[in-house]
Amino acid sequence: MPVRVMVRPREYHDSVRLMQLSERVRRESGVDEAILMMATENNKKILRASGVLTSEASAARADDLVVAVVAATEAQAEAAMTLATEQLAQRAASAGVRHAPRTLDSALAAAPESNLALISVPGLYAAREARRALEQGLHVLLFSDNVSLADELALKRLASSKGLLLMGPDCGTSILDGVALGFANSVARGPVGIVGASGTGIQEISVLLDRMGLGISHAIGTGGRDLKEAIGGITMLQGLQVLAADSATQLIVLTSKPPAASVARTVLEAAAWVGKPVLVNFLGADQLPAAQGSLHYAASLEETALTAGALLSASKQLPLLNPAAIAQLAGQLAGRLQRQQRYIRALYAGGTLCYEALLHLRSELDQVYANVADSEESRYDGQGRRPGHILLDMGDDAYTLNRAHPMIDPTLRMQRILQEAADPEVAVLVLDLVLGFGAHVDPASLLVETLRQARAEAQRGDRYLAVIATICGTDADSQGLSRQADILRQADVLVVNSNAEAARLAVAVIKSATATGG
């Protein structure tokens, strides 16, 4: 097994870029292993475990880059190293600058007309960078998490006093004037403005609206904690103000998990005064108030899109399955299962999609567990085997400590799929594919590869594995919604038209299977 290891001194690339490159080298050159990592102490342990910690790599500094491949032949190893070198060189070339600025201040000096800073540095340094950007008069999209609540409040107060947006922390999605920031889909421009505390919540609503012929004016991310009592909804209130004043926006959608009671009151009061219809999606709220005046409510992401469609007389319907069609499909799938196959395993990249599915499963089935469950007794952290219906948000902090988010690096989810396939009590897998900017170049093909293995595993136990997929994407996304759907369908994956539909269908399969006792 030829092993080639190269150390490139003082060459820094961020961990996500390195993971992307590793995956690409592995995929394109067919080598067993391709690892690109900075030579930090932690990473050296990983290199050692992979059998590629040569003495040169061991002596490397934390700001040196290690490139290692394990191949079947010398030629393959050589080809992989060449590809890696080419890819590493490309970054500097495409940037068009020989020496990229190394600080926010020097970037601003080079491009003084800049008006927004997109910050994704490690949490420890993030608040400083965000503060600097705000002080310089820039709006901020703060992708970084691990920023303290106190820092968030101070930053948002500063932003607010200067008429600037601090979108975050932990904000991965915004669309301003048609420009996607972070992870977002290519959706049409149109009359719906969204303010959201959740990235995949914004994404799902925006793609469903796009499917109905309704476009987005702006989608303003607030970060996951904006509606906690301590923060008071500062960014959501700013977002409301922006969309109220925006002439292109006819309907405002607010989406998040239920806010603190006092914050909900403040936000709803502000929303009632906006002078445009506001559709409120507090996902998982115990009771939905009746629509009143210009305020409307929706319980799920799907219902949000459908309600917006009704309010704006959308030109197209979402091609959702009616209950009879669901029952029929469910019956067909259930008929192929063995008696002991009785559980759903839903493995999600999108946190809010996972949560939406959890809400539905919990309302229809017993024994539902999740790593993102609200209650202690329903919480399952993914370790060890556990009977029951399980939903895992694979983008949760516990899974992303040393790996990129599953939208970028699907490895952990793929491993989990194989694990579930080996469980004789598993009947249905539910999976989400998130397309668009920042997402993997071809998640469907990767998934199909893993499913092939998963199905082979289930076959050994004479089991059929039902697989349901929801795709959060559009045909305008580079991955192409229809193309991705076709790849999945050809692999016997049932592709549905919304995340809520995936949950409905999965539940229907289980009910059908347990009803017939087969």
What residues line the site for another protein (CB under 8 A)? Answer: 12-14, 16-17, 20, 63, 91, 94-95, 100-104, 106-108, 110-111, 113-122, 124-125, 128-129, 133, 138-139, 143-144, 156-157, 160-165, 176-177, 179-182, 218, 232, 234, 238, 241-242, 245-246, 408, 437-438, 478
Please report how close the Cβ of residue 40 comes to another protein at its closest, in angstroms: 10
20 versus 341: smaller Cβ distance to another protein: 20
Please report how close the Cβ of residue 470 comes to another protein at its closest, in angstroms: 22
Please report how close the Cβ of residue 110 comes to another protein at its closest, in angstroms: 6
Provide the β-strand partners of residue 192: 216, 251
Please report how close the Cβ of residue 91 comes to another protein at its closest, in angstroms: 7
Could you tell me which of 424, 506, 433 has the C-alpha nearest to residue 468?
A: 506
Please report how close the Cβ of residue 144 comes to another protein at its closest, in angstroms: 7
Query: Strands 65-70 and 33-38: what pairing?
Result: antiparallel
Please report how close the Cβ of residue 52 comes to another protein at its closest, in angstroms: 24
Could you tell me which of 306, 79, 328, 108 has the C-alpha nearest to residue 214?
A: 306
Please report how close the Cβ of residue 490 comes to another protein at its closest, in angstroms: 28
Task: Measure the CA–CA gap between 183 and 382, rounded to whole angstroms.
Answer: 26
Task: Measure the CA–CA gap between 153 and 167, rounded to whole angstroms.
Answer: 12
260 versus 311: smaller Cβ distance to another protein: 260
Task: Measure the CA–CA gap between 191 and 338, rounded to whole angstroms.
Answer: 49
- Length of the chain (residues): 518
174 versus 512: smaller Cβ distance to another protein: 174
Encoding tokens for residue 377? 């007794």
Please report how close the Cβ of residue 284 comes to another protein at its closest, in angstroms: 27
Helix (H, G, I), strand (E, B) or coil at 499: helix
Encoding tokens for residue 285? 């709220």
129 versus 501: smaller Cβ distance to another protein: 129
Answer for the pair 201, 218: CB distance below 8 angstroms, yes or no. no
207 versus 314: smaller Cβ distance to another protein: 207
130 versus 513: smaller Cβ distance to another protein: 130
Helix (H, G, I), strand (E, B) or coil at 429: strand
Please report how close the Cβ of residue 96 comes to another protein at its closest, in angstroms: 10
Answer for the pair 262, 268: CB distance below 8 angstroms, yes or no. no
Could you tell me which of 207, 217, 208 has the C-alpha nearest to residue 187?
A: 207
Q: Where are the alpha helices (DSSP H) in 365-431?
A: 411-421
Task: Measure the CA–CA gap between 88 and 65, rounded to whole angstroms.
Answer: 10
Task: Measure the CA–CA gap between 155 and 167, rounded to whole angstroms.
Answer: 10
216 versus 368: smaller Cβ distance to another protein: 216
150 versus 310: smaller Cβ distance to another protein: 150
Encoding tokens for residue 165? 């947006």
Could you tell me which of 216, 106, 104, 125 has the C-alpha nearest to residue 169?
A: 125
437 versus 464: smaller Cβ distance to another protein: 437
Encoding tokens for residue 333? 């799938």
